[in-house]
Structure 1
């Protein structure tokens, strides 16, 4: 008995098995937590946020992006180490997203990781081994800062608000951040 040749199911077909694991709601949720992570770390480090969005768009380089966390220009508290602050903010999206997905998703964070590597290579690391050590230390510090109760709750609040509204203002970010601080003081 011979089987009839069947056409393969195209990836866009709703029955396609891969879509069960990578459905748009899972991607959107991961993106919301990613962007919320950037916003919360910025707030922890005294960098005011202008807005956060999970709406897809394009970067200046022409590449597409899944979401964005835009900082207010020229507004920041003095920092002991501005470069480290920038790296922590860049890594915080990936760290926050990993809490939802259970792993570091480098695809969504590829631009962030590229910027981290560039910043550390240009300013701190003299070789690849040193770059890897610095990056690991920064990831550990990011995980430590975001693992506390206040930032964890703030990330959840902001991510849930993003899932409802797609874009939220810096004022809304500050409000949600303050709610998390008050509930843990």
Structure 2
């Protein structure tokens, strides 16, 4: 078992579990992403939101949580605390969170404080037994199959309810 692949599977599972928990549809989850015009990455999680359900701010908060959930799962998995904005492999996730926070927080300091508070809340959520079981189950399946579609993700996560 390759440690980097397993860590990537957990990272992507973190994004997917958070999106699914918050009402998003995880269309595709992979640790073998396409080479395209997007940023270089080890994995990819594609989420679709039913945007009419939430205000712009509510949707932005959901997207922030999903963006930060991957790095948070890695922190919980490794037992190490990092500042996501300072790790190159998390720059895309951090930039997405900052961009979405910019829609309702105008200053840099307010955004960083908000995102740090969000990370602390997400750590508590991810460390819960029910959440971690769902993350681990999805990561195991992702590592075994490299890519999962919407039906597979939903089937796996329905078996691991998060209360």
Give the TM-score category using the shorter length. Answer: 0.7 to 0.9
2:19 counterpart residue number: 42
Report which stretch shifted further, 93-102 or 83-92: 93-102
2:47 is matched with: 71
Q: CA RMSD in A?
A: 2.2
Match of 1:168, SS state, is strand
Q: C-alpha displacement at 1:42, in angstroms?
A: 0.5
Q: Is residue 2:94 matched to residue 1:113?
A: yes
Q: Evaluate the alpha carbon distance shift between residue 45 and residue 76 of structure 1 in structure 2; reply closer, same or farther with a 3 A threshold.
A: farther
Q: Deviations over 1:92-141 (max 9, x none)?
A: 00011112222346332210101112222x32333222122111122122
**Residues 46, 77 of structure 1: 8 Å contact kept:** no
How many residues are paired up?
157
Instruction: Return the TM-score normalized by structure 1.
Output: 0.76
Q: Secondary structure at the match of 1:108?
A: helix
Unaligned runs of 5+ in 2: none
Separation (CA, whole Å) in 1 of partners of 2:35 and 2:111: 29
Pairwise mapping of residues 7-46 of structure 1 onto structure 2 (< 5 A)? 25-46=2-23
**How has the CA–CA distance of structure 1 residues 151 and 53 changed in structure 2, closer, same or farther, with 3 Å as cutoff?**
same
1:162 maps to which residue? Answer: 142
Per the TM alignment, residue 70 of structure 1 is displaced from its structure 2 partner at its CA by 1.0
Q: How far is the alpha carbon of 1:25 from its aligned partner?
A: 1.2
Runs of at least 4 residues off by over 3 Å: 56-61, 74-77
Q: Does 1:176 align with 2:156?
A: yes
The range that moved more, 131-140 or 153-162, is: 131-140
Asked which structure has the greater CA Rg, the reply is 1
Which structure carries more helix by proportion?
2
Partner of 1:150: 130
Give yes or no for contact 1:48–1:76 (8 Å, CA) kept in 2: no
The Cα offsets for residues 151-180 of structure 1, whole Å up to 9 and x where unpaired, read as: 211100010011111001111111111111
Higher relative contact order (CA 8 A, sep 6+): 2
